[in-house]
Amino acid sequence: MTSSKTRAPRVFISYSYDSSKHIDKVLELSNKLRNDGIDCEIDQYYESPDEGWPRWMINQIKNSDYVIQCWTELYKRRFEGEEKGKGSEVEGKLITQEYLNEGKRNKYIPVVFSSQDLSFIPTIFADTTHYNLSMQGEYEKLYRRLSGQPSVKKPELGKLISLPPRERKQAFLEELPENVAKAMHPLLIKCIDRTPIISSETVSYVA
């Protein structure tokens, strides 16, 4: 949880310019996150960054704690390089490289504004938790993840309980019936009834 002594989580939103309605939804999400204490960045806050757009995008992805990806059909095509796009195409290359090569999978968070867009989340993010913001309670789940406030708190680890050793009886053969003990092995006959291992047929033959 963010406090006055800790830095607010830094979040960058990657998206495509599908429509004015979609752009407004991204802006609304970013504003809400900022109002809730998350240091969220989108390109709409800037007219022209000093370092230029390509370097700005690289810095945002590199320096952010989390990158939210707003998946749509257009964003997927540009992300995978099937269609040209100044922003999402470049971001797609950077994100794919860091996601696959550097193993920073928890950093990238798939988000959709409609259930219909769930099918556009690529298979490489199949093992990543996504959020459908059109569903009730999904923003809270997203916010909990970004702010490090899980809905279930893990209890503190207690001390190990000291248990006494279990008593084990040693006289195993004494508890067995005589016929069972003899059936286990012929040599046990000497231990149980103290008689030679000689049959009656053998005795009569020798005599």
**How many structural domains compose the chain?**
2
- Residue located via tokens 């810095």: 59
What is the percent of the chain where pLDDT is above 70? 70
Whether 197 and 186 have beta carbons less than 8 Å apart is answered as yes
Q: Which domain holds residue 197?
A: 173-206
> Residue 119: how many CA atoms within 13 Å on its side-chain side?
2
Q: What is the mean pLDDT of the chain?
A: 82
What secondary structure letter does DSSP report for 71? -
- Please state the rounded mean pLDDT for residues 63-88: 85
- Please state the rounded mean pLDDT for residues 27-52: 97
User: Same domain, yes or no, for 23 and 120?
Assistant: yes
Least confident of 8-22, 40-54, 90-104: 90-104
Q: Return the pLDDT at 4.
A: 43
Among 15-29, 98-112, 124-138, top mean pLDDT goes to 15-29
Phi, psi for 39 (deg, rounded to 5): -80, 80
Is residue 154 a part of any domain in this protein? no
Tell me the two tokens of residue 160: 């190990």
With a cut of 90, say whether residue 131 has pLDDT above it. yes
More confident call, 182 vs 25: 25
What is the percent of the chain where pLDDT is above 90? 55
Among 90-94, 107-111, 202-206, top mean pLDDT goes to 107-111
Is residue 43 a part of any domain in this protein? yes
Is residue 163 a part of any domain in this protein? no
> What span, in angstroms and rounded, lies between the C-alpha atoms of 179 and 186?
11
Which stretches within the chain are classed as H helix?
A: 20-35, 53-63, 73-79, 88-101, 138-147, 178-184, 188-192, 200-206
Q: Band of the pLDDT at 182, cuts 50, 70, 90?
A: low
Could you tell me the CA-to-CA distances from 182 to 165, 177, 179, 190 in Å, in that order?
32, 9, 5, 9
CA 25 to chain centre: 28
Tell me the two tokens of residue 172: 């195993």
Q: How many other CB atoms are found less than 10 A from the CB of residue 124?
A: 14
- Please state the rounded mean pLDDT for residues 160-173: 79
- Please state the rounded mean pLDDT for residues 45-61: 93
Is residue 56 a part of any domain in this protein? yes
Q: Return the pLDDT at 126.
A: 81
> What span, in angstroms and rounded, lies between the C-alpha atoms of 63 and 49?
16
Q: Band of the pLDDT at 127, cuts 50, 70, 90?
A: confident
Is residue 131 a part of any domain in this protein? yes
Q: Return the pLDDT at 203.
A: 45
Is residue 123 a part of any domain in this protein? yes
User: Same domain, yes or no, for 133 and 199?
Assistant: no
Q: Return the pLDDT at 44.
A: 97
Q: How many other CB atoms are found less than 10 A from the CB of residue 139?
A: 16
Q: Return the pLDDT at 80.
A: 84
Tell which of 132, 147, 162 closes a domain. 147
Is residue 157 a part of any domain in this protein? no
CATH of the domain at 68: 3.40.50.10140
3 state DSSP class of 201: helix
